[in-house]
Amino acid sequence: MSPAQHLPTQDFAADSWGKSGVYANANGAVVAHPYESQRVGENGPLLLQDTHLVEVLSHFDRERIPERVVHAKGGGAHGHFKLTHPIPELTSAKIFSTPGTSCPATVRFSTVGGESGSPDQARDPRGFSIKFRTEEGNMDWVFNNTPVFFIRDPAKFPTFIHTQKRNPQTHATHADDSTDFWNYMSQNPESVHQFMYLFGPRGIPQDWRHMQGYSGHTFKFVAANGSWNYVQIHVLSQQGVKNMHPDDAAKASPDCHQLDLFNSIEKGEYPKWDVKYQIASQQEADAAGLDVFDLTRTWDRKKFPLQPLGELELNQNVANYFAEIEQVAFAPSTLIPGIEPSADPVLQSRLFSYHDTHRHRVGVNYQQLPVNAPQVPYPIYNFQRDGQMAFVNQGTRPTHLSSIQPPTLKPRPYDLGKTAGYVDGHAISFLSGVTMRDFEQPRELFRRVFSEEDRKLTIEQISGHMTTSRDPKSIAQAVNIWWLVDNDMGNAIAKNLKLEAGSWQKPLAELSFIGSHNFAANKEAL
Ligand code: HEM
């Protein structure tokens, strides 16, 4: 039985449609004169019997599907992942454990806040999603180009995103009205690490080829014997990291990043990334005080050095943007045995959210579309039937788990229950409140990673963006937070904004945050 028998697969290497064909209605009936609508006499009204006209108009009326609620602007390409350093002792996943393994992959890059027509060169984090078509099923890595994120409590995600979108009354973006943008930051200081990345040099990448991808979240590698470790994944550009100066961004064309990728691949200059990982056992994480479930923090690379795993190459442009990029659907829960999610609350929520949005955006049977269909060497047998566009509906098979005509049931190589270390309470507990620790890593980033020029530009960019806020109180508290990260930085922003000295410099304990605990104000909670 061929793999293609039950789910459609497509060879993206060739435009299978070719260039020629006979013009016909969707039912296949030929249409001799596509530009001649049927009418009653020379000046008469049109005829409802003109199936061709009715079809072209009504199909056109339905051409748009909802754009992604975040990450709407993007582009991508196809390629493959090649394993270079097999780790069978760490994961049962064949793609990472069997020497010489490779698999086809599709990658989509994106900005976060803007609409589908917004500029590529916006100051924003970038999405970096990879769909691995492995012989054990699809695995999606839905990463960003920064190693941390704005939140560690998923309940904040929708409201946070609202502050990155248009104002509900004026419909202006935060570039013209940054009131809500800075109010959010002033009330949620754990986001300051990601805000530092956002306003720092990496806030606008030169292009997608010159940027990194990070899992941000902790995942788990689980070996066939059930032993498991926490991992963070890094996808590091072999082209190096290059960023765009805001002056150049102001002049760049709105589709500059998607065209850069397209043109590079057309020229045969295939971008490549090294796939690496950091690894920590539960004991090592405990001993190092590692916040494995806190997405606002990174793991120390000296204590947990990067380990090589494989290489990702993009070498093939899409033949059709809508079919292969707009309809591609990535989900952090699309995983294969050997890679498990950690208990990071934001990741746990994402395990729900993406399939949910795909069912709304693309339709309940979206995994039957060629770009999303798994390419496994066995026919897929389950009881997901019917619904819109069920063109693979599993024929005469029973509608339940029947003993008369049963599917083959293959166990996972390990007992999933035994990989859930956190149930015993061994993992570092998750802090939902704010402490001075929240400022340590952004301080390191500002002081030790950024160059003098980066620091100057970051301060300039923050001050400039803050000038469009209509709420001085939010700005005062936001500047206060930058000051808690680094006094000189806060003072410099305050000077640019002409804030009165002393009026805004408060210790963390004196600040309050709507919806979040301030642990510095409540010593018992510390
Ligand atoms: C896209 C939800 C956090 C990376 C999306 C989409 C939703 C979503 C609904 C649109 C998907 C689609 O329409 O196909 C959430 C929620 C989050 C969260 C609820 C937190 C609670 C994150 C984080 C990262 C991330 C932490 C990165 C580490 C992405 C990427 C895309 C995306 C890369 C674009 C996927 C594509 O290219 O199609 N997210 N997100 N998200 N998200 Fe998240």
134 and 202: one domain?
yes
Q: What is the pLDDT of residues 141-161, one digit of tens each?
A: 999 999 999 999 999 999 999
409 confidence band (pLDDT: 50, 70, 90): very high
DSSP state of 30: B
Q: What is the pLDDT of residues 201-228, one digit of tens each?
A: 999 999 999 999 999 999 999 999 999 9
Higher pLDDT, 18 or 45: 45
Q: Supply angle C-alpha 291, 297, 301, rounded to 5.
A: 90
Instruction: Give the tokens for residue 156.
Output: 């904040």
pLDDT of residue 415: 86
Rounded alpha-carbon distances, angstroms, from residue 170 to 165, 176, 182, 461? 11, 10, 17, 23
pLDDT of residue 526: 40
59 and 120: one domain?
no
Q: Could you list the residue range(s) of the whole structural domain that residue 338 is in?
A: 74-151+188-373
Task: Label residue 446 exposed, middle or buried (CB < 10 Å: 0-12, 13-18, 19+).
Answer: buried
**Average pLDDT of 245-257?**
98
Choice from 68, 232, 318, 369 to test ligand 1 binding pocket (greatest atom count within 8 A of CB)? 68
Q: Which numbered atom of ligand 1 lies nearest the CA of 69?
A: 10
On average, the pLDDT of the chain sits at: 93
Q: Residue 426 pLDDT > 60, yes or no?
A: no
The answer to whether residue 434 is domain-embedded is no
Task: Label residue 22 exposed, middle or buried (CB < 10 Å: 0-12, 13-18, 19+).
Answer: exposed
369 and 227: one domain?
yes
Q: 366 labelled as ligand-binding?
A: no
DSSP sequence for 233-286 = EEEEETT---B--HHHHHHS-TTHHHHHHHHHHHTT---EEEEEEEEE-HHHHH
Distance 500 CA to ligand 1 centre (A): 40
- Quick one: which of 124, 121, 104 has its CA closest to 165? 124
pLDDT of residue 229: 97
pLDDT of residue 391: 87
33 and 140: one domain?
no
Q: Residue 193 pLDDT > 70, yes or no?
A: yes
Higher pLDDT, 12 or 478: 478
Q: Residue 231 pLDDT > 80, yes or no?
A: yes
8 confidence band (pLDDT: 50, 70, 90): low
54 and 121: one domain?
no
Q: Is the ipTM of this complex over 0.90?
A: yes
Q: Domain tally for the chain?
A: 2
425 confidence band (pLDDT: 50, 70, 90): low
95 and 146: one domain?
yes
Higher pLDDT, 419 or 70: 70
Q: Return the percent helix, strand and coil in the chain, to nearest 5.
A: 35, 15, 50
Choice from 350, 360, 430 to test ligand 1 binding pocket (greatest atom count within 8 A of CB)? 350
Q: Which of 6, 80, 138, 144 is catalytic?
A: 144
